[in-house]
Amino acid sequence: MYGLGILKGLGITMRHFVESYVDDIRWLSKGGRYYNDAALEERQGLQGTGIITVQYPEEKLPVPERFRFVPFLVTDNPAPGQMYGKDWCTSCGICAKVCPPQCIWIKRGKLPNGRPNPEPEEFYIDIDICMNCGLCAEFCPFDAIKMDHDYELASYDRTTAHIHDKARLSKPISYWREIAPTRAAHEAALRDEAASKKKKK
């Protein structure tokens, strides 16, 4: 019959429309279907129902722990009165080497006696070129570079605003523990294990 496909399509749209309201009512007592981890997991999974348009930027979905955007540099938590903690980065250069689009620049630091300082003097990432692959974080032997959850980085400036320098990139380890608690705990356990093995030698 002519038009059956159109009717079927309209029927599916109508079903999703109704399911959206049913879903809203179902999650009402649990804090709403947009704003908690359990709801997000269900909506992004195969069991998700309804029309899931989000009125961004008024409404924002929480991102899962595995989400990754441009990288940031991990530092110790800053001491009271200090803006930045000690860098974890040793300026070994591995991340810059493995970065596929080559958007990381590092200037190694030097001690007053001219020997290399295991901290970067300057560190830049061009976020317009970064493709968010996460290889830098995968390869860093010191857990010093991690993928951030902050995706609201758009600006009208096409020049320096999109080249993140060391000050812009540096974030304390407490931030990483906040956005990726499972991975941060796992990495900390591995570091502790490695440290205790080293001590025993």
How far apart CA 90 and CA 106 sit, in angstroms, is: 10
Among 144, 169, 179, 180, binds ligand SF4 (CB under 6 A): 144
173 interacts with ligand SF4 by CB under 6 A: no
How far apart CA 70 and CA 56 sit, in angstroms, is: 20
Task: State in angstroms the smallest separation of the CB of 47 from ligand SF4.
Answer: 31
Identity of the residue, 27 or 72, whose beta carbon is nearer to ligand SF4 in the bound complex: 72
H helices present in the chain, as ranges: 4-28, 37-44, 94-98, 135-139, 166-169, 173-179, 181-200
Task: State in angstroms the smallest separation of the CB of 106 from ligand SF4.
Answer: 6
62 interacts with ligand SF4 by CB under 6 A: no
Task: State in angstroms the smallest separation of the CB of 79 from ligand SF4.
Answer: 21
Nearest partner of 127 among 136, 138, 115, judged by Cα: 136
Residue pair 86/170 in contact by the 8 Å Cβ criterion: no
133 interacts with ligand SF4 by CB under 6 A: yes
169 interacts with ligand SF4 by CB under 6 A: no
Q: Which of residues 5-44 bind ligand SF4 (CB under 6 A)?
A: none
Nearest partner of 136 among 67, 72, 64, 66, judged by Cα: 72
Q: What is the largest CA-CA distance in the chain?
A: 87
Among 90, 148, 170, 176, binds ligand SF4 (CB under 6 A): 90
Span from 5-13, 52-60, 87-95, 168-176 in contact with ligand SF4 (CB under 6 A): 87-95
135 interacts with ligand SF4 by CB under 6 A: yes
Region label for 66, one of left (φ > 0), alpha (ψ between -120 and 50) or beta (otherwise): alpha
Summarize as ranges the residues that interact with ligand SF4 (CB under 6 A): 71, 89-95, 99-101, 103-104, 106, 125, 130-136, 140, 142, 144-145
